[in-house]
Chains A and B, each alone.
Chain A
Amino acid sequence: MRKPRPAFPKGMGKAPGAWRKSVGKFWSVLFLLVPVLGVALFWWAPGAGYWLPRDISRHGHQIDHLFYFVLVLTGVVFVATEGVLFWFLWRYDSATNRDPATYMHGSHNLEVIWTILPAAILLFIAIYQMNAWADVKMRAPPGMRPTVEVTARQFEWRLRYPGPDNRFGTLDDIHHVNDLHVPVDTDILVDLKSMDVLHDFFLPHLRIKQDAVPGMNIPVWFRATEIGTYDLVCAELCGWGHYKMKGRLTVESREAYGKWLADMYAAQQATQDPQAAEDR
């Protein structure tokens, strides 16, 4: 037995049956818009500048490849699923569908397929990405010494270079803040720390994203392949000033980097104001 429905507000203009008929189709078309607009958005975004930042790293292409691979895979599944949803909505709209509802227990075969297929895909992804993960997180180039120690702190990046003696924890360490300089085409090992809470060391152009955990020294390595200045941001909500935690990565030629280090060292050993020294 159908329950009696409340009358529709006046002014709808159409008889209840006709209105309900169009609403049923409306919903199915609305749901069809989701995959259509979704695909359109992804088509439009790269051209409009809303896409991954330019990759300037040695390992970045592996990450990007995985990203595109998973994007295509999930995209196909997404479009297919939405298509099926649309078809069911349209075909079995209660306003037009006169077929009586039938009771079924379910399809054992179908359930086996839709359990095994995603499991297989996930397993495949898990295996497929292992190499990239190992390259980025495990297989450090041999014999590397840390180039710079990055200590995250609310709300800045404190940097320390080992100085002329190439050892950390000595009087000639070079201290700096927020402006990370590295030489181009060189493997860089970062000793990542946090002074207070969780932060995340994120170099979007290098596809590097690593949590900084208080009490841990976490190695991060990368090789930048293009000279320029890039973003260094915190990608873990670390407090009210999280947005302030913006640094800069400067990739420069080895000569320029060496000169910058020497200048920094000289500035740090100053026994006079540079200005006053010039005045003399």
Chain B
Amino acid sequence: MQTVAPAAAFRPFAGGLLALVLLAGCNARSEPPQFRLNMQDYLEMIPSHDPAEFRIARGEEPDVLEEKQRKIKGLEMISTVLFAAFGTPDDPYLLNEVQKGDDNENGLDLVAIERAAGPVRPGHDRSSRQRGLYRLHCAHCHGISGDGAGPTAVFLNPYPRDYRQGMFKFKSTSFTAKPTTADLKRIILEGIPGTAMPSFALLPNDEVDALVEYVKYLSIRGQTELNMAIVLLSDESEIELDRTAILDEYLMPVLEQWTAAEDAVIQPPERPATDTPQQLAASIEAGRKLFLSKDAQCAQCHGPTGLGDGWLTDTTAVPYDDWNKQKSPDDIDRWLLPRQELRPRNLRLGIYRGGRRPVDLYRRIHAGIQAAQMPGAGPGQGSEATLTPEQIWHLVDYVRSLPYADESQPKHTEITLHKPRN
């Protein structure tokens, strides 16, 4: 009997220890998060390479081994350069040439980036500022590295944007150009209807600005990495660890693209008058004819009725965007996120991902949608315009009228109130 008591008394202690280890142990020992190397894209973009090229097995032939060692060494170099030029998620860094300053107004704002980076640290009172904004609001979908593969990403359709290729769909600029700062800000403020991207309209202005800057930072970092990977894996030459070479060859070209975005904004010319119902009806009718025409070819994908079912008639269509189209279905384990199909938009729902203003729709038709299958109809990319601005405006009017056409919706019923029973 005497021996039972100490054991019984000890048991809660052991249980407490268990709880203590589980709760405190991990936090105390876990490392700060790191950026993930963009292996997925190296492999997708350069299909002749596969993951085995980065693993050394026993008994390999000397020339194969040498090649593999060269590549692994190259990855270490990429890792070193990225660390040198961008720091870590907790401690972002920018080389002077990339930093915004008095003499360099095109650079990135390191103060804003630092605010958005790092672990979530609330301000002590209302006046001091919230830090770690990216992890608070964005990282669970877009991932620490901005790879669009955060913990919740796999449940979403479409997937969250992977910033690292520097491709963005909804912007005011031309097909190949980067979005402007205002474009990114607009997406954060208004969200993207029809996707899982919610609106952050009520965040303070400076927090939104910090997040925009951080998204740019992640995107520039990702594209710099890809530029190096192309040289390493595709051109098969060395990454030089020379500051000037790094800046000139890999980093500055990307930053310049972002700077150039402000000049690539598409400003639609004056819209033809649609003040009277007759004018509007005429414009809509002209747009309908264009929609079905062989010139604009809208109906091929969006369907003759705009339901987004044009592709359905076609079993050979490969409806994937640039993030998904390289993923082969028989090698599914290679990717964090399985391949997801791209669908032409159903234009009768009245849900516009890139904004519902006429100017937004004009830009979609004019520039197309980068990385998706939507081609641009306006002039650009050295081509003459397929459609005149006036024709694009007719199409805008037609597309805008579709959700409200009689056949689009069951008759809109206004809510009826409960009948009071007394």
Contacts and interface: CB of A to CB of B under 8 A. Distances in A.
Contact of B417 (A7, A219, A267): A219
B202 A175 contact: no
Contact of A270 (B359, B414, B415): B359
B198 A145 contact: no
Interface in B253-284: 265, 267-268, 270-271
Contacts of A218: 415
A100 interface: no
B388 interface: no
Contact of A219 (B5, B415, B421): B415
Contacts of B49: none
B190 interface: yes
B202 A248 contact: yes
Interface stretch (A53-61, A89-97, A163-171): A163-171
B88 interface: no
**Chain A contact patch, size range:** 35 or more
**Chain B contact patch, size range:** 35 or more
B5 A271 contact: no
Nearest to A157: B199
Contact of B420 (A138, A168, A189): A138
A247 to B, nearest CB: 7
Contact of B202 (A145, A179, A275): A179
Give the dominant DSSP class at B's interface: loop
A248 B415 CA distance: 24
A271 B357 CA distance: 7
B417 A140 contact: yes
Contacts of B182: 275
Interface in A234-266: 240-241, 244, 246-248
Nearest to A135: B420
A146 B415 contact: yes
Interface in B317-358: 356-358
B153 to A, nearest CB: 12
A191 B415 CA distance: 7
B297 interface: no
Interface in A1-27: 6-7, 9
Contacts of B400: 171
A271 B358 contact: yes
A28 interface: no
Contacts of B265: 273, 276
Contact of A273 (B137, B267, B356, B416): B267
Interface in A197-247: 217-219, 240-241, 244, 246-247
A178 B202 contact: yes
Contacts of B57: none
Given A270-B358, A271-B271, A271-B362, A155 B198 contact: yes
B104 interface: no
Contact of B268 (A158, A219, A248, A272): A272
A224 B115 CA distance: 38
A9 B357 CA distance: 79
Given A171-B404, A270-B359, A6 B202 contact: no
Nearest to B361: A271
Contacts of A154: 196, 198
Nearest to A232: B202
A273 B9 CA distance: 73
Interface of B: 1-2, 4-5, 9, 137, 140, 152, 172, 182, 190-191, 193, 196, 198-199, 201-202, 265, 267-268, 270-271, 356-359, 362, 400-401, 404, 409, 412-418, 420-422
Given A267-B357, A271-B270, 9 more contacts: A6-B5, A169-B404, A171-B400, A217-B415, A240-B140, A240-B152, A246-B202, A268-B356, A270-B359
8 contacts: A6-B5, A146-B414, A154-B196, A155-B198, A177-B190, A177-B191, A179-B201, A219-B415
